[in-house]
Structure 1
Amino acid sequence: MEETQKKKAVRFLEGNKIYLRPLDIEDAELYFQMLYNSETRRLTGTQKSYTRQQITSYIEGKAEDSSSVLLLIVLKETDVVIGDVALQDIDTINRSSSIRIAIDAEQNQGKGYGSEAISLMLEYGFGILNLHRIELEVFTFNKRAAHVYEKLGFKIEGIQRDRLYFNHQYHDAILMSILEEEYRSLNRV
């Protein structure tokens, strides 16, 4: 292979507008930059600051972590990374997991990319990993995301009061989940 030939991106899960690919050590700088988008930090409740070395160590650790699947969200047309999505705390005995997502920039929000990424991960979680339950939490101020999760079939289980302290205020979180049979009935799998 010629050195000038562009390295072809791995497409682990592919949708209509996006594909999901594994996070690689070469993505450390990109991931570091994404972590410091102020609106993304607010929506995800990210409060800590991280160094480039901590991010590199985190990515290296994820390669060895069988309890999570962390993937980058990439636009199909341009191969531009716009966020990440993860199944975390995968419990193979109880067949459960949590899911999280972050879309990096406001110009990429509200275009269906997040819905497509979550759908791809639900299909992977229920269809490949044989999960029974996938849960998430969303802060009450993130009404757009809560609406998207409900459209995808997630059910509200409860409110975690004062779950997040951010910018001098406490915020509640909504706990939501979707079960395997709910997913299958919505998607006629």
Structure 2
Amino acid sequence: MIVGKRVVLRAMERADLPRVQRWMNDPEVLRRIYTYRHLSLEAEERWLQQMGESTTDFVFAVDTHDGTGAAVHIGTTGIHHVDWKNRCCMVGIVLGEERFRGHGLGTDAMRLLVRYAQQELGLHRVELEVYPFNQAAIRSYQKLGFHLDGTRRGATFREGRFQDVLLMSVLPGEVAAE
């Protein structure tokens, strides 16, 4: 468990999967991530099993507290495709619960994740990909210290057309303080 001021990153559990499946089938969520199709609960269960067995992927549930102090599962985040030789990885985040978006919780979760990748796993370069239209996410990543490395022109075919993908990264010492 990784505890921050406003969010907690904890191990994903099977009980989380119905919520994750709902999020991954939400058109507004799908629009911002690389998943192209709706996912079944069985597919989510296979995914969690694979992540648990992986030595190059680490996934977490993102929890926060509601107004009553009760913990609420609001999203998922993860470190993926760890290259242990070059000490780099990809990261990603999904805040599935719409009412918790736009309040800085994703920024807090990503800060915890990047610190974990760099300080606990010893990774040097943490990178991510984001669609250019996702300006809220880009601002969040820049606020954390991510730099724009470049554009993968026409890298994905979404919504009937080829779309660019931005590549951003952060190195040790560049992560902004809380």
TM-score range normalised by the length of the shorter chain: over 0.9
1:112 to 104, 112, 118: 104
C-alpha distance in 1 between matches for 2:51 and 2:135: 30
Aligned residue-pair number: 175
Unaligned runs of 5+ in 1: 1-11
Verify: 1:172 aligned to 2:164, yes or no: yes
Residue 35 of structure 1: aligned partner: 24
Which residue identity does 2:118 align to in structure 1?
A: F
- How far apart, CA to CA, are the structure 1 residues paired with 2:21 and 2:151? 31
Gaps of 5+ in 2: none
CA separation in 2, counterparts of 1:73 and 1:19?
6
Distance 1:21 1:181 in 2: 25
Once the two structures are superposed, the pairs formed by residues 91-110 of structure 1 within 5 Å of their partners are 91-110=83-102
| Equivalent of 1:136 in 112, 128, 132 | 128
Moved more, 81-90 or 21-30: 21-30
Residue 62 of structure 2 is matched in structure 1 by 73
TM-score, L = length of structure 2: 0.92
Note if contact 1:22-1:70 (Cα within 8 Å) is conserved in structure 2.
Answer: yes
Q: If the length of structure 1 is used for normalisation, what is the TM-score?
A: 0.87
Deviation of residue 70 (structure 1)?
0.3
Percent of residue pairs bearing the same amino acid type = 26
SS of the residue corresponding to residue 44 of structure 1 reads: coil
Instruction: Give the corresponding residue for 2:141.
Output: 149
Matched residue, 2:37 = 48
Q: CA deviation at 1:50?
A: 2.1
TM-fit CA distance, 1:182: 2.4
What is the CA distance between 1:140 and its match in structure 2? 0.5
Query: Out of 49, 63, 73, which is 1:60 matched to?
Result: 49
